[in-house]
Chains A and B, each alone.
Chain A
Amino acid sequence: MSTATSAPSALAPLHSQTIAELSARLVRGELSAVELTKAVIERTRAVEPQVKAFNSFDEADALAQAAASDVRRAAGEALGPLDGIPIGLKDVIAVRDQPLTASSRMLANFVSPYDATVTERLKNAGAVLWGRLNLDEFAMGSSTENSATQTTRNPWDLACVPGGSSGGSAAAVAAGQAIATLGSDTGGSIRQPAAFCGVVGLKPSYGLVSRYGLIAFASSLDQIGPFTRTVEDAALLLQAIAGHDARDSTSFNTQIPDYRAALAQAGKPSAWKLGVPKEYFGEGIDAEVSAAVERAIEFYRAQGCEIVEVSLPHTRYCLDVYYVLATAEASSNLARYDGIRYGHRAQGASDIVDLYFKSRAEGFGEEVKRRIILGTYVLSSGYYDAYYLRAQKVRRLVTQDFLNAYAKVDALITPTVPAPAFKVGAKADPLALYLCDIYTIGANLAGLPAISLPCGFTAGGLPIGLQLIGQPFGEAALLRIAQAYETAHDWHRRVPAL
């Protein structure tokens, strides 16, 4: 276990500190939001040419928000732990009067006239909204290589991808270009890049966080969630964005616990039962990843947790089910990008059908088109029953697998991704890329909360992610279990040498 690059937090530069630390300093008056925001802006300027995490950022706007935060604080009206903290948003989350591109040519010039619910909630919490973060176009991909803007680089190895689709959100936190960020996760798009970039990534239970204002990829799977440096920060950010929203019919009306308070309660690892799904440790898993996760399991065992082997027998169908359901929904969700009301409109179209063909042919990238075509196919007359309907049935079986496991255990412990980050351009075959999501998709299909946190590094210096999958709306317990590991390790204190 090497700690060579870790630094005591108080001496760490502002841009690599946590929300909890910075918030405490803001409260104590040792730091102003403007100072903090300037530090993040400077850091961003310095490393952005290498990392390429942002589609765009608006320094003046961020500084104005920071100044407003300082005014509030001076007046004794600070809004809570996020007040004055620079937080970046994946470029699929609407912010009023800011660009919203989904890293697509289709929306290259689109400016949102409205705020997403999470945006509204972050504003209400006083956060300094900072930058539009890169992703695979329309969140379709696992590396940001499908972005029409640029490929974001992994801050731990600039030759490697940061993962995806929320690669910009993960890389920005790892590189100190934001204190925390929001991403979205449809099949692993928060957890996989979190694992690749050595940060904490949480996908909440389906329905915990409003999707209003999130550009839809697959409506029944999409969830917005935080990227942070620590589990505690994830709790703080989740607190701000979670909760019922009348503008999203799929948002769940449930009492939101105090996540940070839940963390503060002394956890009793001896009371926890953790399940190790045997299907997640089979063929194709990288030896270093496997070893790191085994060590994490041993850690929990040593703490007194009961470790139980469980089976999720339908795991092998997850990828197939996912690519039927997600593409079907996407084919319909992306129909609105037609060049009529907004977005890219092709020149020289001869009629309306030609306008649709040309605008969409020019506006969408290859992977988006592939998925629209696949989704259109599986919904077509004569194929619906064989694909979409069957996939829905198998989805129910997958969910039942998890619920059966939760009759015996409190959470599941797995690798986040079978292997560490790969080199840019190394996975030209889309199918090879789809396999990156093999351990993360299950939680989306079943609507479960799942978190990825750093659990080691490869010999080559690439982060390895540990995934914990919790019970429906069991975020508080999940965060507590994750934090038990985090506080005993310092992987999360490491920063990449940029």
Chain B
Amino acid sequence: MANYEAVIGLEVHVQLRTRSKMFTRVPTGYGQPENTLTDPTVLALPGALPVMNRAALDAIIKAGLMLGCEIAPVCKWDRKNYFYPDSPKNYQISQYDQPICLGGAVEIELPGSARNVMGEHKHIPLTRIHLEEDVGKCTHGASDSLVDYNRAGTPLMEIVSEPALHSGEEAYAYLTALRAAMVQGDISECDMEKGQMRCDANISIRPVGSTELGTKVELKNLNSISYVRAGIDHEIKRQIALLESGGVIVQETRDYDGLTGASQSLRTKEMAHDYRYFPDPDLMPVRVDEAWKARLRATCPELPFDRQRRFFADYALPYTLTSVLVWDKPLADYFEEAVKLAGAQRAQPIGNWIVNDLLRELKAGGAGGAGGLSLSEVRVRPEHIAELVELVESGKLLSQAAKEVFAEMFATGESPAVVAEKRGLLAEPADASELEAWCRAAIAENEKAAAEFRAGKESAINGLKGPVMKASRGKANPKEVDATLRRLLAG
């Protein structure tokens, strides 16, 4: 078993988030009554013609720029000919020999040794990304089948990786990273349940050390990222077992059932289609010039891993915080807004508040508790977080009191200073002589701690702060207490 290496290439289809379809003005949509998002072009009525939707080309070029692809100077269209009822023209408009995006890579992170340890990073090279139109949907009954063309003609990009992945875990990491990039770039919502992102995997195995590729099996219908991981691992095991028992792997397409964890053959290579690709004479090639690319480049967001590296460098954030923030663009933007107000030196406490407290409240769904709020629905704004951190850092608010302030601020949307003031939680600017008296009393009553501190035991000072705070009924400014004690002990 340990003598084999799996080689995996993924073909990921991502629906582009455009208002209208790829080749007509009919709107895109999900969950509408059957065959309502149609027109002569979608239904391939006699005489209907396609006209390219520029927004779809924008989206794929942006995706290509984000993933470091080379953008072809001309967008050319081909027909992929095959008969199936979900394809109204019985050909699909696609890109064959000149995809709009070539090369590029998806950076992935494999699981670390522990949850708080960053895992290994890899760059999975891409072969190409091309644009095509989605097909409709068939529903098969006992004696007949129904077709819904609402999805037909939705812009779809196919992202083809090199055979450079080696496990279900890597595929999982690849899809996670790819999905985050596409969602953050506003290119697709990538909701796999709605079919906005779909994945086929080409899997082969070979003896470790071999450079030749084994016979590949295509795995289809992997309709969640977890199923992709499970399906690939299942297929690798199946192929190894087959070879070990003296069998031969045949080139075929298999259907993986995520519920049962089993796969079955759909068709073998002999039944493969000859798609008879040729340039679509109904569509003129479209030139993509530097200005077009520059306009889209300006709209590309920073990729999550790039942002994570910047968070390490600029804010010295720990891995655990960054690995939550960077995968959620609105949350990371929120974080950076707060940091901009409070200063980079306060980034970590800001991150803690957001990742620990804010996210917990979001998940709880606030007062209603009805399961999840989105960041945009929340009344706590980045300036509130910044102010809260400033209050704590300056010693005006104790951590314990700050928790209380946060909860109320989340509920009411009032600023932390107002909440703290209202609840009497702010540290009072103590009278200097009164504070000194409390400190002197504490030193006198705790000779042992005072002696230990003077002898160099730094932590012994904490034994003196407690009594001072107690004497002040919690309202002394901890920073002032610390400074006063040190002055007196040194004197």
Contact = CB atoms under 8 A, between A and B. Distances in A.
The answer to whether A binds B is: yes
Contact of A113 (B40, B83, B89): B40
A332 to B, nearest CB: 5
A422 interface: no
B66 to A, nearest CB: 28
Contacts of B147: 340-341
B209 interface: no
B278 A332 contact: yes
A215 B278 contact: no
B120 interface: no
A249 B51 CA distance: 6
Contacts of A384: 276-278
B49 A212 contact: yes
Contact of A332 (B52, B84, B88, B91): B91
Interface in B82-98: 83-85, 88-91
A247 B49 contact: yes
A380 B276 contact: yes
Contact of B46 (A110, A218, A352, A379): A110
Interface stretch (B5-13, B281-289, B443-451): B281-289
Given A249-B283, A249-B284, A332-B91, A379 B81 contact: yes
B40 A114 contact: yes
Given A112-B46, A249-B50, A341 B88 contact: yes
Contacts of B85: 338, 340, 352
B47 A216 contact: yes
Given A249-B283, A250-B284, A328-B278, A335 B83 contact: yes
Interface in A407-456: none
A379 B47 contact: no
A100 interface: yes
A113 B45 contact: yes
B44 interface: yes
Nearest to B138: A352
A336 B83 contact: no
B43 A100 contact: no
Nearest to A355: B85
B21 interface: no
Contact of B282 (A112, A113, A219, A381): A219
**Is the interface on chain B under 10, 10 to 19, 20 to 34, or 35 or more residues?**
20 to 34
Quick one: which of B83, B276, B283 has the most chain A CB within 10 A?
A: B276
B298 interface: no
A379 B276 contact: yes
Contacts of A212: 47-49
A321 interface: no
B281 A250 contact: yes
Interface in A309-347: 328-329, 331-332, 335-338, 340-342
A100 B51 contact: no
Given A332-B91, A356-B83, A381 B276 contact: yes
A215 B47 contact: yes
Contacts of B46: 92, 94, 100, 102, 107, 110, 112, 215, 336-337
B44 A341 contact: yes
B431 interface: no
B51 to A, nearest CB: 5
Nearest to A339: B85
B51 A94 contact: no
A342 B276 contact: no
Contacts of A336: 44, 46, 88-90
B62 interface: no
B275 to A, nearest CB: 8
A384 B96 CA distance: 14
B79 interface: yes
Contacts of A337: 46
A261 to B, nearest CB: 31
A211 B49 contact: yes
Interface in A165-215: 211-215
23 contacts: A94-B47, A113-B40, A113-B45, A114-B48, A212-B48, A213-B47, A215-B47, A219-B281, A219-B282, A220-B281, A250-B281, A250-B282, A332-B278, A335-B89, A336-B46, A336-B90, A338-B85, A340-B85, A341-B88, A353-B83, A379-B81, A379-B276, A384-B276
Q: Enumerate the 3 nearest inter-chain pairs by beta-carbon distance, A residue then B residue, closest first.
A: A335-B90, A379-B276, A219-B281
Interface of A: 92-94, 100, 102, 107, 110, 112-114, 116, 211-216, 218-220, 246-250, 328-329, 331-332, 335-338, 340-342, 352-353, 356, 376, 379-381, 384, 388
Interface of B: 40, 43-52, 79, 81, 83-85, 88-91, 145, 147, 274, 276-278, 281-284
